[in-house]
Amino acid sequence: MDTKMKFGERLLDILRGADRIVALTGAGVSAESGVPTFRDAQQGLWADEDPLQLATPEGFEANPARVWEWYAWRRTLINGVQPNPAHHALAAWEHRVGSFTVVTQNVDGLHQKAGSRRVLELHGNIHRTICSRDWELLAIKHDGSQPRCPRCGALGRPDVVWFGEMLPVQALNDASAAIAQADVVMSLGTSSLVQPAASLPVKALELGIPVLEVNPQQTPLSAHALVSLRGKAGDVLPELLMQL
Ligand code: BV8
């Protein structure tokens, strides 16, 4: 029995003709590596915590040690996992077209670990730690204990964008520019709920650029995408790339 996934000819033609591709990725792309998404019930120790409370300046202000512990737990989990076929397919795709930009909401660094070279991190990176006062990078080894800034003594914090914080201007500008020049935009493994990242595929639609979504669930983007494939990124992306 032919178990090969079937994709519409129109989608395959668009992807075969695309030379500039942007892939917006969310937590769902790392899900098959074993990294829980924000929508998953928090695991074990964190079952009673709400990321929307912990991933905020107020949450850090109220209990810096608790927030630091949560990120240390996530960092340890991420250090123990590998990129999955979705990450590898995106890294391979880069070698098939003129320009391939990964715009990620994820902070796990798995795209880079899989070999993607052009990765725009909209929400920062959990492996970097900054001074909570001036946001300068701290060169520290993560040994679990919460570091203090050697310059001013302020507590260290993860170099990630919390809810209510601005996204890195350069990454967001570069992402917008890449979208504006794209032949096709893919929205992969994201609930399309977190702004302003979720507005990037909408900008593509407004420019008449075809949008492909891959997600096992429906999202607010699904009805507007040219094609919305109900499936796991780790299954769909390698198969799609193979059929181009
Ligand atoms: C800001 C880093 C303003 C931290 C994160 C309108 C405009 C502007 C802002 C807002 C707005 N409306 C609301 C806001 C505020 C807020 C926001 O969007 N809130 C939401 C909850 C409504 N936005 C912000 O606060 C942003 N800041 O706008 O500042 C400002 C302006 C001026 C001056 C000062 C400030 C900052 C947002 C960034 C927050 N930080 N991460 C950390 O990681 O700890 S966001 C965080 O949530 C992650 O990055 C994660 O990626 C994201 C959740 O989204 P997803 O990636 O989509 O993940 P999710 O779990 O939701 O969904 C997973 C999906 O995968 C699901 O759809 C599932 O079906 C699918 N899936 C599962 N398995 C698979 C799969 N798909 C494919 N394959 C699979 N195998």
Least confident residue range of 68-72, 110-114, 183-187, 206-210: 68-72
pLDDT at residue 37, rounded to an integer: 86
Q: Is 236 helix (H, G, I), strand (E, B) or coil?
A: helix
pLDDT at residue 48, rounded to an integer: 73
Distance 194 CA to ligand 1 centre (A): 3
Residues above pLDDT 70, as percent of the chain: 96
Rounded mean pLDDT of 15-36?
97
Catalytic residue flag (residue 123) = yes
Mean pLDDT of all residues in the chain?
94
Give the tokens for residue 189: 């493994």
Band (pLDDT 50/70/90 cuts) for residue 45 is low
Nearest-angstrom CA–CA distance, 233 and 87: 9
Residue whose CA lies nearest to ligand 1 atom number 44: 55
Nearest-angstrom CA–CA distance, 244 and 225: 20
pLDDT at residue 31 greater than cutoff 80 = yes
Band (pLDDT 50/70/90 cuts) for residue 91 is very high
Length of the chain: 244
Distance 187 CA to ligand 1 centre (A): 13
Q: Which of the residues 95, 111, 123, 224 is marked catalytic?
A: 123
Please name which of 46, 93, 96 lies closest in space to residue 71, comparing C-alpha atoms.
46
Rounding to the nearest 10 degrees, give the CA dihedral for residues 62, 63, 68, 71.
Answer: -70
